């Protein structure tokens, strides 16, 4: 049985849970982090020396870093649509998965930190200005790319859509001056039609307000 260690309102945990649901893999989840079991305990640090969620165990295998977990799930359990077996086809999608997780998501989460995690009394509007300036051109890049869609692999939903799409709930829910990008908005609408996205990504983050 696969076990996921991490709280439901962590975006990185959401990425993993979304993937598990899409692939159809049985698993259990244990609450760790912010208000739950400590990620700084000796037992947890053995699993992830960074002391962060998520961690995934599958038998004797123990993994951390959500992007690595996504790739493992695709390789171990995904079909040829979710995780193309052809190395070239998979690599073309992995470029976008890497970009989504390490560029687009990070920029969106900077806005999340400002709008949600920071106490309103400590917010510096210049932080939001810089974050918006950083995320806007990235959103425009994804808008152009998804215009070739409807998914990143054309007609086929794949692991790359999870890596690029898992922060879009927060992208659209947060209070900021978003650019008007029709392709991206349509992509978000399609994601919302997927039960796994609704169940595991569209999760309240109210418990995180003002926690920095």
Q: Tell me, what CATH number does 8's domain have?
A: 3.40.30.10
171 and 93: one domain?
A: yes
Q: Are 15 and 165 in contact (CB under 8 A)?
A: no
Tell me what pLDDT residue 48 has: 98
94 and 148: one domain?
A: yes
Tell me what pLDDT residue 164 has: 98
Q: Which domain holds residue 10?
A: 2-77
pLDDT, the chain, mean: 97
73 and 144: one domain?
A: no
Tell me what pLDDT residue 212 has: 80
Q: Is residue 128 part of a domain?
A: yes
Give the pLDDT means over successive 10-residue stretches in the chain (212 positions).
Answer: 97 98 98 96 98 98 98 98 98 98 96 94 92 97 96 98 98 95 98 98 95 82
Q: Is residue 35 part of a domain?
A: yes
Q: Is residue 82 part of a domain?
A: no
Tell me what pLDDT residue 183 has: 98
131 and 180: one domain?
A: yes
Q: Are 164 and 99 in contact (CB under 8 A)?
A: yes
Compute the 3-state secondary structure of the chain and give helix, strand, coil in percent, each to the nearest 5.
55, 10, 35
Q: Is residue 209 part of a domain?
A: no
Q: Is residue 203 part of a domain?
A: no
Number of domains, the chain: 2
Tell me what pLDDT residue 211 has: 85
58 and 133: one domain?
A: no
């Amino acid at each position: 049985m696969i076990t996921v260690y991490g709280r439901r309102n962590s975006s990185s945990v959401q990425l993993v849970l979304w993937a598990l649901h899409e692939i159809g893999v049985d698993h259990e989840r244990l609450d760790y982090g912010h208000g739950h079991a400590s990620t700084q305990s000796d037992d947890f640090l053995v699993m992830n020396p960074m002391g962060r969620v998520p961690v995934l165990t599958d038998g004797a295998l123990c993994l951390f870093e959500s992007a690595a977990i996504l790739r493992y799930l695709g390789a171990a359990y995904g079909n040829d649509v979710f995780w193309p077996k052809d190395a070239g086809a998979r690599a073309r999608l992995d470029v976008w998965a890497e970009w989504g997780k390490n560029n687009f998501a990070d920029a969106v989460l900077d806005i999340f930190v400002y709008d949600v995690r920071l106490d309103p009394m400590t917010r510096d509007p210049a932080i939001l200005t810089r974050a918006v300036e950083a995320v806007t051109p990235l959103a425009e890049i994804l808008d152009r790319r998804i215009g070739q869609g409807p998914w990143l692999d054309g007609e086929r939903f794949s692991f790359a859509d999870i890596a690029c799409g898992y922060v879009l709930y927060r992208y659209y829910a947060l209070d900021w001056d978003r650019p008007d990008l029709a392709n991206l908005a349509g992509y978000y609408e399609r994601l919302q039609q997927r039960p796994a996205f609704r169940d595991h990504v569209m999760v309240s983050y109210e418990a995180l307000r003002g926690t920095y």
